[in-house]
A and B are shown apart, each in its own frame.
Chain A
Amino acid sequence: MAAGDDSHRPALRLQGVRKSYGQVVAVAGVDLTVEEGEFFTLLGPSGSGKTTLLRLIAGFERPDTGRIELGGRDVTSTPPYLRDTNTVFQDYALFPHMSVADNIGYGLRVKGVSRQPREERVQRALKMVRLEGLGRRRPNQLSGGQRQRVALARAVVNEPEVLLLDEPLGALDLKLRQEMQIELKQIQKEVGITFIYVTHDQEEALTMSDRVAVMSNGQIEQIGSPVDVYERPATEFVAGFIGISNVLVRDGVRFVVRPEKIRMLAESETADPGMTVEPGRVEEIIYVGMTTRYLVHLDRGERLVAVRQNMDALGDAQKFQGRPVRLAWTAEHTYVLDKGR
């Protein structure tokens, strides 16, 4: 092999990793390469094996078969305390008998970093997660969002090869979650550490990730950029799990049309040339604030969801209730699913 190939050192490489508990197969043969500094998300419904995969990377579980490499080093049989990974736990797992600063500094203390540099790094970490001055508090004196930040700081301060995050924002309310998404992404850029992020929230995955692996039944369905997995889903599962799936079969071809790409025409309107037009009837109207979703029952049988921005007040949307409409889309906005899947 050429020297250039040897110098390429992915942060994480999984080869044929399998893990089962008795009869239940949690991870069914996963191959994966995550590059240095990437924000990589494992996205999937509960029970898809994403958390087990994360625990395998952290070393809390041992794979039945397969190989795990961190920074080019085989760590398949390395215990968690010797792996260059740190985890942000779903329940934060902060030590209740230690102060915030002691929690954050624990990893450094265990590694034998002396007091002076340790305290400096803890202070920097506290500043990074905007918790300056709260170092002496106990975890139970903090709010949920603050605890989440402490958990993040406790992991990041060790500057691991790979940082593992197990649904870290799951316990926060929507507003705080959205703020933390942006903040997390900023922190990741700032420190340049490889993030492997587990979530079941597709919006979260699309917002934050460089690449997303969509998982189902212990297997990876598709790996790609957020645009890839949204615009060009490889399987019907991916199409359905990310966004609203509008799957149609026409002339023996299965394809996806995203709701926002569909134009809903009132009786008087006409479609642009080149558009596919299908008649139907509005069955349901769902108002979701910024947009309104229309569930349209096509005359040929399927149901499609179309989305329209709410330019006018609610009254405009309601006038479509139960009315015949025509849906129109262009061929370039459809995406053909793999045949045989």
Chain B
Amino acid sequence: MATETVRRPRPKGGGAVPFATLFWRLPWLRSLLLLTPPLAWFVVIYFASLILLLITAFWTTDPFTTQIVQVWTTSNFERLINEPVYHDIVGRTVVLAALVTLTDALLAFPFAYYMARLASRRVQTLLFAAVLLPLWASYLARVYAWILILNHSGVLNWSLQSIGLPPANIGYTNVAMWVVFSYIWLPFMIIPAYSALERVPESLLEASADLGARRWRTIRDIVLPLALPGVVAGSIFTFSLTLGDFITPVLVGGAGSTFIGNVVYANIGIANNVPFAAALSTIPVAIMAVYLLIARRLGAFEAL
């Protein structure tokens, strides 16, 4: 008999157990390796600071030294409830964010429908570029461009006057903010709406036509309900981005355009009242939490 033992063939590289095999045997190891860096980031940087924010909101400052006093108090929240000016600011922020979201949904849907269902491949690519290209330009540059359009001697008034119409003095008003926000966040609505519309199978539209529905009826009964999760997903972006903004109100807003973010900014930078700023910051966080719960019920997370 031969004394040679049967050798198992070994993969090249020669290690005892190759990594691929190790990962195959221990699937949790792969997950661990993949998730540790982002999870560490998420927990330490994001979650911890959010908790710190919540804790700070229940502290206060010494009125003379403006030093933070680490004593539990609800005085910041009492101030938010008792002073009507903050109701106005929160109300304005939320209403404008909702208006911007609605406007973007109305603008994005037909555009995304055309992109997903009617445009040729070439046109589709061009439209994609047109939607995404502005995101490469600085936010500030785009807002300043709108100032040039909307201010009193801007392009808008000049155009109106040259055709004999009265000027529309919407520069430095809430209307200007509504226009600028709607423009800036529009791509964030178009993209999810597009991907939702693209996923509606052609055969469903044919089935609807086959059952007697004209194009508009099909859009109302079939396309719209099926694309709704995508629009809701897009609205998460448009709503939350508007809710947290504080630059556009400064640049294109007027005297009555203060947002939550502006008050937070003022309390950190000028008044040096970080606990009050933290308390104010919990409002958009709470609003977004409720918004996300509703969005989940509408299936927005399946559409992302």
Q: Name which of A106-114, A178-186, A198-206, A300-308 contacts chain B.
A: A106-114
Q: How would you classify the secondary structure of chain B's contact residues: helix, strand, loop or mixed?
A: helix
Q: Is the CB of B211 within 8 A of A96?
A: no
Q: Inside 8 A of B222's CB, which chain A residues have their CB?
A: 95
Interface size class of A (residues with CB under 8 A): 20 to 34
Q: Is the CB of B211 within 8 A of A110?
A: yes
Q: Is the CB of B203 within 8 A of A93?
A: yes
In the complex, B30 has a CB within 8 A of chain A:
no
Give B residues with C-beta under 8 Å from A: 201, 203-204, 206-214, 217, 221-222, 225-226
Q: Is the CB of B209 within 8 A of A81?
A: yes
Q: Is the CB of A111 within 8 A of B212?
A: yes
Q: Is the CB of A97 within 8 A of B207?
A: no
Question: Complex: how many Å from CA A106 to CA B208?
Answer: 8
8 Å CB contact of B212 from A60, A95, A97, A107:
A107
Q: Is the CB of B206 within 8 A of A93?
A: yes
Q: Inside 8 A of A97's CB, which chain B residues have their CB?
A: 225-226
Q: Is the CB of B225 within 8 A of A87?
A: no
Q: Is the CB of B213 within 8 A of A110?
A: yes
8 Å CB contact of B201 from A82, A93, A110:
A93
In the complex, A89 has a CB within 8 A of chain B:
yes
Question: Complex: how many Å from CA A60 to CA B208?
Answer: 11
Q: Is the CB of B203 within 8 A of A158?
A: no
Question: Complex: how many Å from CA A154 to CA B211?
Answer: 9
In the complex, A260 has a CB within 8 A of chain B:
no
In the complex, A47 has a CB within 8 A of chain B:
no
Residue of A nearest to B205 (CB): A93
Q: Is the CB of B217 within 8 A of A86?
A: no
8 Å CB contact of B207 from A82, A95, A111, A158:
A95
Q: Is the CB of A60 within 8 A of B206?
A: yes
Q: Is the CB of A81 within 8 A of B214?
A: yes
- How far is the CB of A87 from the nearest CB of chain B, in Å? 5
Q: Inside 8 A of B204's CB, which chain A residues have their CB?
A: 93, 95
Question: Complex: how many Å from CA A79 to CA B212?
Answer: 10
In the complex, A219 has a CB within 8 A of chain B:
no
30 residue pairs A–B, Cβ–Cβ below 8 Å: A58-B206, A58-B210, A60-B206, A60-B209, A60-B210, A79-B209, A80-B206, A80-B210, A81-B210, A81-B211, A81-B212, A81-B213, A81-B214, A85-B210, A86-B211, A89-B206, A91-B201, A93-B201, A93-B203, A93-B204, A94-B207, A95-B204, A95-B207, A97-B226, A106-B208, A106-B211, A106-B221, A110-B211, A110-B212, A155-B210
Q: Is the CB of B217 within 8 A of A110?
A: yes
Question: Complex: how many Å from CA A94 to CA B214?
Answer: 17
Residue of B nearest to A91 (CB): B203
**Which residues of A (84-104) have their CB < 8 Å from a CB of B?**
85-87, 89, 91, 93-97
